[in-house]
Amino acid sequence: MNSVLPVMKNEMLELDQPTRKATQCLIALYCGSRFGNKPIYKDTAIDLAKGIAEHGFGIVYGGASIGLMGQVADTVTEHGGEVVGVIPEFMLDYEIAHKQLTELHIVQSMHERKAMMAERASAFVALPGGFGTFEEILEIATWGQLNQHQKPMMLYNVNGFYDHLIAQLDHAVEEGFLPPQHRAKLIVCNNANQIYNAIKNLEAPKHFIV
């Protein structure tokens, strides 16, 4: 069973704020727990998070306070958006949970984390990241292929970061392993306006996991 702040399982997560519940339509942001080696990754993440908040959306993300993950949470909050974090209990010792979120859910497993994020999100955007980011966006694309959801899914191709992954997906189509109609559902965005256009008419899911 997951818990929601301020009912904590670790003293470092104690908050001064009361329990709240996000009411905004949420965009799932998959991104790294590191900043990467080039300033463009952090700068672009800040710009995207600011734009999401200014367009009236909140975010759901992995709950950490470090790297691009912490940066997007801070930026959305600073610009008036709501932020829902979901973090497995076993990760609390090395992926420091964010203390200033609208909601923070502490779950038992990565599977619970991904399921809750998928349920709460109205769309999915992958910024640059590592294994976890790759796995998350490809899993949600797989769920889309299996008709488990019809929500928009986007690769934010900052600085050509996803060029090789995009080429691999296209190669899978050419070799007959990935149907082109399912490949087309994973939208490649080279700028933030393409993301805003994809999410502008979204509504929040009718059912939440809390």
Q: Which residue has tokens 């019809």?
A: 150
In terms of Cβ atoms closer than 10 Å to its own Cβ (0-12, 13-18, 19+), residue 200 is exposed
pLDDT of amino acid 3: 45
Q: pLDDT means per 10 residues in the chain (210 residues)?
A: 40 46 95 95 98 97 93 96 94 78 94 96 97 97 95 98 98 98 97 96 77
Percent helix, strand, coil in the chain, to 5, is 40, 20, 40
Q: What is the CA radius of gyration of the chain?
A: 16
pLDDT of amino acid 16: 38
pLDDT of amino acid 15: 39
Domain boundaries, the chain: 26-201
pLDDT of amino acid 208: 66
Q: How would CATH label the architecture of 26-201? A: 3-Layer(aba) Sandwich (3.40)
Phi, psi for 24 (deg, rounded to 5): -80, 160
pLDDT of amino acid 113: 95
Strands 26-30 and 58-61: parallel
In terms of Cβ atoms closer than 10 Å to its own Cβ (0-12, 13-18, 19+), residue 160 is exposed
pLDDT of amino acid 112: 96
